[in-house]
Amino acid sequence: MRKKKKSVPNRSIETLQTEAAKLLAAGHYKEAIDAYKRLLKKEPRQTWQSALAQAYLSRAVALAAKGMYKEATVLWENRANLCQDNELFDKYLYWLIQAGRNKRAARLFIESAALLPEEITWQLHAQFGALLLAGYQEIIEDFPEDAPLIKQYSRILKALHAYYQGDDKTTNKYVKQIPFRSPFRDFRVIVKALLVIETDPDAANQLLEKVPLDSPYAKFAELIRMATQHDDSLLESLSKISSPEQTLIAGFKGWDKAQFKVISMLQSAAKRDTNKALLEVVAANRQSLGDDYCQQFCLALLPSYPGGVKFYERTFKPLSEFDRNRITALNYERQGHSLRADRQWRLCVNYFKQHPQEENSSIKAALILRHLVELADQRGDTFEDNAVSNDLIESLQLEPDDKASYLNLIQWYDHQNNQKGYQKWVDAAIKQLPKDSDVLLIAMEAATRKKAFKKAAGFAKTLLKVDPINVKARQIARFSLLSHARKLIKSEKYTLARKELAQAASLEKTNQRSGVVQINQGLLELQAQGFIKPIIKRGTATKPASKNTSPAARLVKPKGKIAETPAVKLLQEGIQLTGGGILGRFRLIVESKSQNIEPKNLPLAQLDKHYLPTRHEILELISLINSYSEEGITFLTEAVEQLKEQLQKTIKLDFSQDETLSLCECLKKVKHYELLKQFADQAVKRWSKHPAFVFYQIYGKLKGSKSMWNIQPSDMARLQSAVDRAEEQGDKRTSMMIVGFLNQMEGGGLMPPHFGHPFGDMFDDDDEIEGELENIKDELEALENRDLDKLSPGELIKILNRLEDIGIEIPDFDLPIPRRKKKKR
Amino acid sequence: MKTPFDILDVAEDATDEAIKKAYLRKVRQYPPERAPKKFQDIRAAFEAIVSRKQRLKYQLFHHEPPSLNALLERALRTTKNSCRPTEQLFTQALAESLKNR
């Protein structure tokens, strides 16, 4: 069946006109041209003719912008048949040149040059000049013989001929004859650059940069600049230019044909962008690139392209078992298969064990074992099993002087809380690397941990010889010397203690003295001169001289005489250096207690009753307490207790929220619950919804874990909502802190029966908890009715253990347990 | 990616001393104040192969594929002097550059 022809609807002229206008306005020039042509067939209206001319011109411009110059010129000429105004005539001439219709362009230019603006005429002259130089000689006859373009063309041609011949002097001579306002102005710059490109590429580059982007020579200048490029970016640039252009650059670069062939092959391999293509190209060019280099290059390519192993072996040489396993291991690593890589690397280690005669076999095996540790670390498996420590130990057996392995191993044992292993590897490290600052630092820490202060001080001295400005070494050294001095004082070896303290003093810079040394020196002298004696602890061999004496330190000489001694002056100096006031007093308290001396009995004036510490002093005090806490001082609660009065006065000082948080955290750390609660009460008044302060307030009220079973349902509800709020605010630290506390309650079986646990689903058996609580209640009631004096030590220990089990803190005492009166709790 | 050997322009079996010399030469060529990025690359390359142990580590565990540019650089190394183009080549190249500007 024959198809029916599409019928064109018989629309009115008005409709067609409206449609045509819309198409033109919308930039649909092709359709607009058709529409106006149809209208003009019906009726030759002038407005439609003008509209058609406009559509022709607009379409010509659009096509030229797409590089379709030939089509653009035809459209311009169609328009010229409709109107004679020569609109965009200069553009038309450019399009003719770009379309290769140079002859017509030149003729039209000569005919109408007088009508064109001067600037356009000049630009077109430059354009025709470039055409002449590019070999389009057919246009020359259209220009008069005396035209400046022709005159200057002959000069520039002479310059170029001289350049080809290597006659730079003549080239320069003719170049100088080209005036600045010449159509060859930009080309003159290029010739100047060509003259220096071999000797001074940078200077050539600078000259070429002067060629404007709208110059007919802009692309040519850019091409020549390529010859000054470094090879990194050259391959990409070369791939974008034509063969004659590539040859021109090759000439400037001094490349021969063989090299040029390699470039082409590399270009094609780069286009294929596969390791296979690259492997083949490199192997094919072994001779020109160098056999060894190609072999190394291809071997390096194999981990990312293990499929090329056979090709490599055919082309170069068979791979060893080790290399095959190494390539597979690296390939697994590239794919993120760490465990598979691990297995493959272990095969490599075995290979070296079986082939110890191979060059560097031990060190290579050691390096692989350490690499396995890195892989385990990336997987987060470092502390999962013993493989890491075993690998490190084995690596050190193969290559014993690797510091990083010792440090890793020490850290590993420390993390596992294996003190024996930790100490063993600290000793091994210091034996192997006795003057290494990192190892010495660790050895110092390890010795301090064991309270082997003399040893720690020895390491510190060595470290300070190696690294005199090591701040941490100074701190540890000073701490070790002080600790050792305290030990010596306790055993009444005052002369030795003086030496240690003098050394500790020498480690402090004059303007940064902390006062700790002077206080210890003062305490030493007071004891050495018999002014004061330390408390004798229960359970120690020596007993107090008199039963009637207070267990606090006793002044054995009258106060009046002591106050003027150098010892007291040292104490006063130490207090002042610490910062005086509450700071100095706190340091004095801690340092005295460290030597079992009761600070209240020292011959020093107490703090003024009206003294109010400043906000700054309290913040300094927090850092001082924290630093003592880090040193492992265990009696900070008592030390803070002695300053309770002064601290209570500061509760209403204007601390910021962060400062108050630090303060509460510090008081929690030292377990001073009374002050903690008081500061937290004040903080809750100011920041009632802050979850951390709510926690500190309740924590203080409950005396930490001591009275946690006394928690009120309302407080538990507050803790619950504090956790929620902390989580909402993204305050993970606080939420963890509160949850940790609640878990502690749960773990101690102390969740009160009246309280529904906030994490109800975490409990497996509520009946079991209630049962346990009932048992505890019964036991406590039974305890109330017992006469403790009549208990045997065995029974007493049993009861105390039970009390500890349920979370009640029992003060330390020495066995055998003395009989004492009923203890009220 | 260029290898540290490529960056310092030394052979894979170069000694510690040769590597140090090459490093110092490169640093003179690209001082940090004038070419900070290049200097960083040179420094990193030096650190990667500064000692025998480091070189062994690099050779054992490095798995980034080698760079095509490094290969090209090597391919295009020449001892020949550059030569001036002939009139024909020059004219052709200029004509090419005038096309489709």
CATH number for B23: 1.10.287.110
Confidence of residue A511 (pLDDT cuts 50, 70, 90): confident
Mean of the pLDDT values across residues A101-117?
Answer: 86
Token pair of A757 as six digits: 């646990």
- Asked whether residue A558 carries a pLDDT value surpassing 80, the answer given is no
Tokens of A47: 């407005």
- A432 part of a folded domain: no
Structural domain range at position B33 = 4-79
- A533 phi/psi in degrees, rounded to 5: -130, 145
Residue A256: pLDDT band (50, 70, 90) is confident
> Residue B98 falls within a domain, yes or no?
no
Q: Answer yes or no: is pLDDT of A462 > 50.
A: yes
When computed from its CA atoms, the radius of gyration of chain A, rounded to whole angstroms, is 47
Give the pairing type, strands A532-533 and A554-555: antiparallel
A554: which 2 tokens? Answer: 């006793």
Contact A216 B3 (CB under 8 A): no
φ/ψ of A22, rounded to 5, equals: -65, -40
Mean pLDDT rounded to a whole number for chain A: 83
Q: How confident is the model at residue A818 (pLDDT cuts 50, 70, 90)?
A: very low
- Strand partners for A555: A532
Of B63, B71, B96, the CB nearest to A304: B63
Residue-number span of the structural domain to which A310 is assigned: 256-319
Smallest Cβ–Cβ distance between A219 and the set B71, B76, B101 belongs to B101
Are A293 and B92 within 8 A, CB to CB?
no
Q: Is residue B91 part of a domain?
A: no
Residues A164, A264: one domain?
no
Provide the b/e sequence for A159-186 (b: ≥16 CB within 10 Å): bbebbeeeeeeebbebbeebeeebbbbb
Are A125 and A30 within one domain? yes
Chain B nearest-CA distance from A198, in A, is 7
Residue B80 near chain A (CB below 8 Å): yes
Alpha helices in A579-712 (DSSP H): 581-594, 615-630, 636-641, 644-649, 657-669, 673-686, 691-701
Can you name the residues that pair with A532 across neighbouring β-strands? Answer: A555
What is the phi/psi pair of residue B37, to 5°?
Answer: -65, -45
* Min Cα separation A537/chain B (Å): 57
Residue B96 lies in a domain: no
Separate counts of helices (H) and strands (E) for chain A: 43, 2
Whether residue A818 contacts residue A796, with contact meaning beta carbons closer than 8 Å, is answered with no
Instruction: Report if residue B94 sits inside a domain.
Output: no
Same domain, A20 and A142: yes
The length of chain A, given as a count of residues: 825
Check residue A806 and give its pLDDT: 55
Residue of A549 and A234 predicted with greater confidence: A234
Q: Give the pLDDT mean for A769-790.
A: 55
Q: Token match 């689903």: residue?
A: A761
- Helix or strand (DSSP H, E) at A53: helix A46-65
Residues of B in contact with A244 (CB under 8 A): 89, 92-93, 96
Residues A767-778, mean pLDDT to the nearest whole number: 51
**What does the alpha-carbon distance between residue A566 and residue A778 come to, in Å, rounded to a whole number?**
61
Among the residues of A355-470, which ranges form H helices?
361-379, 387-398, 403-415, 419-432, 437-449, 453-466
Question: Each residue of A136-186: pLDDT tens digit?
Answer: 888 888 888 888 888 889 899 999 999 999 999 999 999 999 888 888 999
**Tell me, what's the pLDDT at A800?**
60
Q: CB of A39 within 8 A of CB of A20?
A: yes
For range B54-58, the mean pLDDT: 95
pLDDT digits (tens, 9 = 90+) for A402-461: 999 999 999 999 999 999 999 999 999 999 999 999 999 999 889 988 888 888 888 888
Mean pLDDT on A188-213: 91
Q: How far is A290 from chain B (nearest CA, A)?
A: 9
DSSP B23-76: HHHHHHHS-TTT-HHHHHHHHHHHHHHSSHHHHHHHHHH--SPPPHHHHHHHHT
Identify the domain boundary among A762, A784, A812: A762
pLDDT per residue over A583-611, tens digit each?
999 999 999 988 888 887 787 777 788 88
Cβ separation of B71 and A289 shorter than 8 Å?
yes
Q: How far is A199 from chain B (nearest CA, A)?
A: 10
Burial per residue of A83-105, b for 16 or more beta-carbon CB atoms within 10 angstroms, e otherwise: eeeeebbbbbbbbbbbbebbebb
- Inter-chain CB proximity A364 and B92 less than 8 Å: no
Whether A190 is in a domain gets the answer yes
Domain contains B25: yes
SS3 A550: coil
How far apart are the C-alpha atoms of A529 and A544, rounded to whole Å? 19
Q: How far apart are CA A278 and CA A267, in angstroms?
A: 10
Sign of the C-alpha dihedral computed for residues A471, A473, A474 and A479 taken in this order: positive
Distance CA A295, CA A315 (A): 9
CA–CA separation, A524 vs A516, rounded Å?
A: 12
Quick one: A143 and A57 in the same domain?
Answer: yes
Evaluate if residue A560 carries a pLDDT over 60. Answer: no
> In this structure, is residue B17 part of a structural domain?
yes
Which candidate, A766, A715, A764, A767, places its Cα nearest to that of A741? A715
Residues A262 and A151 in one domain: no
Minimal C-alpha gap between B5 and chain A (Å): 11
State the residue for tokens 């692309």: A219
- Is residue A679 within 8 Å of residue A664, measured between CB atoms? yes
Say if residue A162 is in the same domain as residue A197.
yes
Residue with tokens 């559509």: A55
pLDDT band at A747; cut points 50, 70, 90: low
CA nearest B74 in A: which residue? A289
Q: How many other CB atoms sit within 10 Å of the CB of residue A421?
A: 17
For B11-52, the pLDDT digits (tens) are 888 999 999 999 999 999 999 998 899 999 999 999 999 999
- Regarding whether A768 and A757 lie in a shared domain, the answer is no
Measured in whole angstroms, how far is the alpha carbon of residue A103 from the centre of its chain?
A: 65
User: In this structure, what are the phi and psi dihedrals at residue A554, rounded to the nearest 5 degrees?
Assistant: -110, 135
| Pair A700, A825 in one domain | no
Q: Do B71 and A282 touch (CB under 8 A)?
A: yes
Residues in chain B, how many?
Answer: 101
A452: nearest Cα among A426, A427, A418, A487: A487
Mean pLDDT, rounded, for A775-803 = 57
| Closest CB to B66 among A217, A241, A300 | A300
Q: What is the pLDDT of residue A556?
A: 46
pTM: 0.58
Q: Please list the alpha-helical segments (H only) found in A166-200.
A: 168-176, 185-196
| Residue B101 included in any domain | no
Residues A183 and A228 in one domain: yes
- pLDDT tens by residue, A288-326: 788 888 898 899 999 999 999 999 999 999 999 999 999
The conformation of residue A140, written as its DSSP 8-state character, comes to G
**B92 and A CB contact within 8 Å:** yes
- CA distances to A697, A722, B36 from A730, in Å: 21, 12, 41
Does the complex come out with an ipTM higher than 0.85? Answer: no
Tell me which chain A residue has its CA closest to the CA of residue B59: A300
- From first CA to last CA, the distance across chain B in angstroms is 34
Does residue A713 fall inside a structural domain? yes
Query: Partners of A554 in the beta sheet?
Result: A533
Q: How far apart are CA A56 and CA B21, in angstroms?
A: 70
Q: One-letter amino acid identity for A514?
A: S
Shortest Cα distance from B49 to chain A (angstroms)? 15
Please give the pLDDT value at position A311. Answer: 94
B57 contact residues in A (CB cutoff 8 A): 367
Q: Total domain count for chain B? A: 1
- The Cα–Cα gap between B6 and A571 comes to 66
pLDDT score at A773: 53
Looking at A199, A232, A265, the residue that finishes a domain is: A232
Q: Is residue A314 part of a domain?
A: yes
d(CA A695, CA A321): 63
- Put simply, the answer to whether A235 touches B62 (Cβ < 8 Å) is no
Least confident of A108-117, A532-541, A683-692, A708-717: A532-541
CB-CB under 8 Å, B66 with A254: no
Q: Which residues of B touch A134 (CB under 8 A)?
A: 91, 94-95, 98
- Quick one: which of A47, A45, A17 has its CA closest to A32? A17
Confidence at residue A776, expressed as pLDDT on a 0 to 100 scale: 57
* A402 falls within a domain: no
Return the minimum-mean-pLDDT range out of A118-122, A315-319, A550-554, A746-750: A550-554
B51 near A CB under 8 A: no
Do A723 and A783 have their domain in common?
no
Within an 8 Å CB–CB cutoff, is residue B84 touching chain A?
yes
Is residue B99 in a domain? no
Residue A229, burial from CB neighbour count under 10 angstroms (0-12, 13-18, 19+): middle
Searching chain A, which residue's CA lies closest to the CA of residue B91?
A134
C-alpha span between A202 and B95 (Å, rounded)? 25
For residues A44 and A37, give the distance between their C-alpha atoms in angstroms, rounded to a whole number.
Answer: 10
Mean pLDDT for B58-68 is 88
CB A102 within 8 A of CB A94: no
Placement of tokens 């006859």 in the chain: A141
Do the Cβ atoms of A642 and A591 come closer than 8 Å?
no
DSSP one-letter code for A672: -
Share of chain A above pLDDT 70, in %: 85
What is the pLDDT at residue A231?
61
A76 found inside a domain: yes
Q: How far apart are CA A496 and CA A484, in angstroms?
A: 10
- Look at residue A32 and tell me if it is in a domain: yes
The gap from C-alpha A711 to its chain's centroid, in whole angstroms, comes to 44
Cβ–Cβ < 8 Å for B46, A281? no
* Residue A405, amino acid: S
Q: Note whether A45 and A39 are within 8 A (CB).
A: yes
Same domain, A730 and A804: no
For B56, the closest of A161, A262, A367 (CB atoms) is A367
pLDDT band at A766 (very low <50, low <70, confident <90, very high): very low
Whole-angstrom distance, CA of residue B25 vs CA of residue B43:
12
Give residue A208's pLDDT. Answer: 94
Distance from CA of A699 to the nearest CA of B (A): 53
- B32 contacts chain A (CB < 8 A): no
What is the count of structural domains for chain A?
Answer: 4
| A219 and A261 fall within a common domain | no
ω before A816 within 30° of 0 (cis)?
yes
- The rounded distance, in Å, linking the Cα atoms of A584 and A304 is 66
Does position A554 have pLDDT exceeding 90, yes or no? no
Which of A762, A779, A812 terminates a domain? The answer is: A762
Neighbour tally for A272: CB within 10 Å: 12
